[in-house]
Amino acid sequence: MRSNKIKQMWRDGKCATLGWLSVSHGLTAEVMARQGFDALCIDLQHGTSELSDVLPMLQAISQTDTVPVVRVAWNEPATIMKALDLGAYGIIVPLVNTAAEAAMAVAACRYPPVGMRSMGPVRAMHYGGGDYVAHANDEMVIMAMIETKEGLANLDAICATPGLDAVYIGPADLSFALGLEPRGDNPDPLHLATCDKILETAHKHGIKAVMHCASAAFAAGAVKRGFDMVMLTSDFACMMAGARLQLDEFKAKTA
């Protein structure tokens, strides 16, 4: 079976980079996948993609060695299983509040006897290899997002969930949970301290911690703080920043 590069990087003690796909198009996915991210996430929660967009985007990503990840819109087993059957090698589940919810997400990603995933990897077997079913339980990465008051209250139990690979910090919703203005790359001391607590709790239980960032500078700081994966930027953010850069330079040179 095709191995999951992210798991190997984590075994080697390395931090992985993650790119983000908010635009529902195969060409955008292909271009982003060729930029050198270790993994790339198709966003079904807040991006423009629907489940019907996932297959061509995964096919575009699979032309590279970038690991394909899908953030589902909700902790719903059928959608999780579908994304995996289409060839996702990682699943991010938002708004996980309890250990029971984390366990449900893990179960949807694992075949019996350790999980409840249904057999039918229609494309995943072509992407992963003929022995996919025998090894998929060991290669799929499942990440639970910690971003609510209830999730913070149950942090220790969530991180202790058997089979969970990582917790993923959603900074804007976490800001809501802390009574702060929602934003990415939040410099507020309370927010930073809470993120560090999530990181420490994850590592205490032998799992990884992932930070969703909005800039390379903040992501670099997260790596120095010990995070195991950082989301650097999205296709949408790059498109806006690139257009703004050219317009600003044009205006400055023609002023």
Phi/psi of residue 20, nearest 5 degrees:
-130, 135
The full set of domains in the chain, from first to last, is 5-254 (3.20.20.60)
Contacts of 86 (CB under 8 A, 6+ apart): 54, 55, 58, 122, 123, 124
Catalytic residue among 25, 46, 191, 203: 46
How far is the C-alpha of 250 from the C-alpha of 244, rounded, in Å?
10
Model pLDDT, residue 182: 95
Helices 26-33 and 235-254: crossing angle in degrees, nearest 10, is: 80
- Considering the entire predicted model, what is its pTM? 0.97
User: Sorting pLDDT into bands at 50, 70 and 90, what band is 17?
Assistant: very high
User: Sorting pLDDT into bands at 50, 70 and 90, what band is 92?
Assistant: very high
Q: Is 205 a catalytic site residue?
A: no
Half-sphere exposure of 3 (CA within 13 A, CB side): 7
Model pLDDT, residue 100: 98
Please say whether the beta carbons of 141 and 90 come within 8 A.
yes
Nearest Cα to Cα of residue 213 among 198, 197, 227, 193: 227
Kindly report, residue by residue over 141-184, the tens digit of the pLDDT. Answer: 999 999 999 999 999 999 999 999 999 999 999 999 999 999 99
* Token pair for 141: 């990465």
